[in-house]
Amino acid sequence: MTRATDTLTDDAAGPPSAAMTAAQLLRHHDPLDRRVELVCGRLVVSEPPGWPHGSVALRAGAAIVRWIDEVTAREGRRPGHAAGNDPGCWIERAPDTVRAPDVAYVACDRVPLAPENGFLDGAPSLAIEVLSPRDRRTAVREKIDQWLAAGTALVWTIDPERREARVHRGDGTVTHVGEDGTLDGEGVLPGFVLPLRTLFD
């Protein structure tokens, strides 16, 4: 998730540098091993978000993987693929935007998986963004809007500090989920239900 300490590589006071491409981002190495994303050709660098963030993202991703395995065993078909640890998704071109959700789920019939060592070519079916205390509201909103504009059907923003979540949908509706509520896969992960409290306890 974009954080308050995110920095852009371009100097706003000076002339803009040439836009970076997704191919260049693949070869880019941050010397401090920080998280990097590409927004309209500009490199965005984020500091590590902290332990609660990583714990919640891991639990959410693990729940989706269990659901995938259960559907595969029951129906004899794999419904989709999940990835964590900020998988890159190439969602805009010329200038390029490569965003990285904390967890992504892609239905098998949606977009082809990325080639080895590449980015997902398109938006995931579900993007999960785990919030950090340093997140800026405008940056969070921008990222949600980019996911939805690119075709992501569901975006879950999970707030470990407030122990709540919000479900953002492609039709523009938003639902608040308290810690005693559940995240529902709706039409994206049919039959998937995740009690929100289990991500925090």
User: 116 vs 140, which has greater pLDDT?
Assistant: 140
Please give the structure tokens belonging to residue 171.
């039709």
What class is the 49-199 domain?
alpha beta
Measured at the CA of 58, the angle between CA 57 and CA 61, to 5 degrees, comes to 85
β partners of residue 126: 105, 154
What ranges do the domains of the chain cover?
7-45, 49-199
pLDDT digits over 56-100, tens only? 999 999 999 999 999 999 999 999 999 998 889 999 999 999 999
pLDDT at position 36 = 81
Beta-carbon contacts of residue 144 (< 8 Å; ≥ 6 apart): 129, 155, 157, 168
pTM, rounded to two decimals: 0.85
